[in-house]
A and B are shown apart, each in its own frame.
Chain A
Amino acid sequence: METLYIARNNWDSFIKGKAENIAIFAPFEYEGGLFYSRVSPDIKKDIIYNRARTVEPLKLFLAPFKEKVVPELQDIPEFVIMGVSACDINGLKILDSVFMEGDYKDPNYITRRGKTTIIGFDCMSPYPSCFCELVGTHPYPMDGFDLNISQIDEDGFLVDINSQKGRFFIGNDQKFFHASKEQISKREQNRHNTTEKIKEQNRDFDIEHATEKLKGAYHTELWKHLKDIENCVQCGSCTNNCPSCVCFLLEDTGTQEEIRKVKVWDSCLFPGYARMAAGVSPRPTLYDRYANRLLCKYWYLVENYGKIGCTGCGRCIAGCAGKIDKRKVLTEALRER
């Protein structure tokens, strides 16, 4: 992987120039949270570099909350998503496995994915809910991006080029230079500091060997004594905000003349999610549904796609209406296995 250096003011003008020809979405701060907006001269705010994950998960761009799938999406213009945290890039790997890499390919997903350039950011100010280090990943992306930006100090960035698409985006711009050893080692120091911070804030939690330990942990009784689960109000915030939750339902909106289908996110925490026509549900209690989510994340997805479905982004914790800390529930559940 090639690593370049660019001064911050040069990068700013480079992106401004690019944004005249292609849609670039980047994180901006609103009410203390980071949200993607399209980079344009109309936004009187600065792009927030290298802080932490956005409030919205990346999947909103690629598999939106509600979209027509019959008829499928027609051709769309290329676009760039900049400021994608490592946890969302890792979530993207699950989305790709589900929607693009199996025998059946989601038509809209492959259309959008083919038009997407992903520019990752290193995280430097993780939230208290962040726990990527607990799931074996890091606050900076290792792969799965086209470009990645690491701020090394107030004045400049390192830019990793990880694909032809990324190289094409940089083009022949003369403001990029090969990164020096000192610059690379400064980045290593920054990365180390963030990693240590995340480890430190998670030292009370132990979810090691979650996959092995959760195997067979289906039965309602195993979960009933974990009292925090009772605080779940089954709102679906955790699944909606999760960068790798993929569940959806299909609605039929057409007529006999023209069959139309709309795909909408669903949540396995909803009581109706698994309920069958005659009214019976294989997951009748809240405990069954809560357990299902954890089992799906840490075990089923490993069986299905060879990857755990949790990227440690912490959105399910930060956004929980019942203030459940999943790390605590999981730590307690695993302690007895």
Chain B
Amino acid sequence: MDKNIYKPIRCMVKDVITESPTIKTVVLKPEEEFSFLAGQFASFTVPGVGEAPFTPSSSPYDKEKIEFTVMRTGRVTDAIHNLKKGDIVGIRGPYGKPYPLNYYNNKEVLLVGGGVGLAPIRALFLALLETINNYKRIVFCCGARTPDDYIYKGLILDRWHQLCEKHPLSFRITVDKKDENWKYSEGVVTKTLDGLDIDIKNSVAVVCGPPIMMKFTTLKLLEIGYQDSQIYLSMERKMYCAVGQCRHCLIGDLFVCKDGPVFTYDKIKDKPNIWA
């Protein structure tokens, strides 16, 4: 008998971290081994409430725990925000195709994350750090609406920033609207792409954020010379089964769950309502 594809692995909630007024990170300890590659996602069950797909935000190399950074937007995410240490939840997966890291070898990798879109990029960034000598350089552009909305501030503004001294790594940090304590730039995340000194021909751009942010970032990347196939976009759709059966996540004829969730722009640009 095959394993029941809908049956999640039970996990204990080890911690719930408040990242911003609308975003929390839950730290889970799965009861069985669960591993994933950067870019893959899991289906997260809150028992009795529902299930929703999320890309983990922790390192794929971390075998002890798995983290999900979740914005409160609906029924399931409300329930995730209400989780307490010791609660039991479920995850199943991993699903979808990972980022093709081999293909990024010897390239300049541009990461662009906005708001809660920094969560999947964090997992990717941590995976890239493990093999950082494989890449020519990493440029990490981060955006959020306000300083309060910034997630992973301790990492982005401090711990990760310190890595720039030893590694070919740089950050470009912005908020849409700053406050009096903000020391970095102000403006939407596409502004961080102005004056980018990068060898575009030998680069890939990875984008994750709200649809409107992904749309304008893609347009900007095309404007500064990126080709469609160099732009990696994390797509989101309503999803139930996560295994290519329930058909909710179709973008045209493509399944976000198994053909994605990351697509290069050339694969999806002619599909309907991709920025919905």
Task: Please list the residues of chain A having a beta carbon within 8 angstroms of any beta carbon in chain B.
Answer: 69-72, 98-99, 102-107, 110, 216, 218-219, 246-259, 261, 263, 266, 268, 273-278, 280-284, 288, 295-296, 299-300, 303-304
A255–B48 touching, CB < 8 Å: yes
B248–A249 touching, CB < 8 Å: yes
Which residue, B2, B270, B273, has most C-beta atoms of chain A within 10 A?
B273
Binds A, one of B5-13, B56-64, B148-156, B167-175: B5-13
Q: Is B51 an interface residue (CB 8 A)?
A: yes
- Complex CA gap A284/B274 in Å reads 13
- Interface size range of chain B in the complex: 35 or more
Contact of B247 among A254, A284, A296, A303 (CB under 8 A): A296
Closest to B79 in A: A252
B218 to chain A, nearest CB (A): 17
A31 to chain B, nearest CB (A): 33
Contact of A70 among B7, B73, B243, B244 (CB under 8 A): B7
Contact of B4 among A72, A103, A246, A295 (CB under 8 A): A72
B244–A104 touching, CB < 8 Å: yes
Binds A, one of B122-130, B158-166, B196-204, B234-242: B234-242
Can you report 24 A-B residue pairs in the complex whose CB atoms are below 8 A from each other? A70-B4, A70-B6, A102-B245, A103-B244, A104-B5, A105-B2, A105-B5, A246-B245, A246-B247, A248-B241, A248-B246, A250-B6, A250-B240, A252-B46, A252-B51, A255-B47, A256-B47, A261-B7, A261-B45, A276-B276, A277-B74, A282-B274, A299-B253, A300-B252
B4–A107 touching, CB < 8 Å: yes
Q: Is the interface of B mostly helix, strand, loop or mixed?
A: loop
A277–B47 touching, CB < 8 Å: no
Task: Please list the residues of chain B having a beta carbon within 8 angstroms of any beta carbon in chain A.
Answer: 1-2, 4-8, 10, 45-52, 73-77, 87-90, 211, 236-238, 240-241, 243-248, 250-253, 255, 270-274, 276
A313 to chain B, nearest CB (A): 19
Which residue, A104, A107, A268, A278, has most C-beta atoms of chain B within 10 A?
A104
B5–A254 touching, CB < 8 Å: no
A193 to chain B, nearest CB (A): 38
Contact of B5 among A107, A256, A304 (CB under 8 A): A107
Closest to B239 in A: A276
The 10 closest A-B pairs by CB, nearest first: A277-B74, A218-B272, A282-B276, A104-B243, A256-B88, A300-B253, A303-B253, A277-B73, A282-B273, A250-B240
Contact of A259 among B8, B52, B253, B276 (CB under 8 A): B8
B250–A300 touching, CB < 8 Å: yes
A247–B246 touching, CB < 8 Å: yes
Say whether, besides A277-B77, A280-B211, A268 and B7 are in contact (CB < 8 Å): no
A216–B270 touching, CB < 8 Å: yes
- Complex CA gap A295/B247 in Å reads 13
A124 to chain B, nearest CB (A): 34
Say whether, besides A248-B241, A277-B73, A253 and B48 are in contact (CB < 8 Å): yes
B16 to chain A, nearest CB (A): 15
**Chain B contacts of A254 at CB under 8 A?**
47-48
Say whether, besides A70-B7, A256-B87, A259-B8, A104 and B51 are in contact (CB < 8 Å): no
**Chain B contacts of A283 at CB under 8 A?**
272-273
- Complex CA gap A103/B255 in Å reads 14
- Complex CA gap A99/B241 in Å reads 11
- Complex CA gap A254/B251 in Å reads 31
**Chain A contacts of B247 at CB under 8 A?**
246-247, 268, 296
- Complex CA gap A283/B18 in Å reads 33
B47–A252 touching, CB < 8 Å: yes
**Chain A contacts of B271 at CB under 8 A?**
218
- Complex CA gap A283/B244 in Å reads 19
- Complex CA gap A9/B276 in Å reads 62
- Besides the known contacts A72-B4, A247-B246, A276-B276, 11 further A-B residue pairs in the complex with CB atoms under 8 A apart: A72-B7, A218-B272, A246-B245, A250-B6, A250-B246, A251-B50, A252-B47, A276-B238, A278-B73, A281-B276, A300-B253
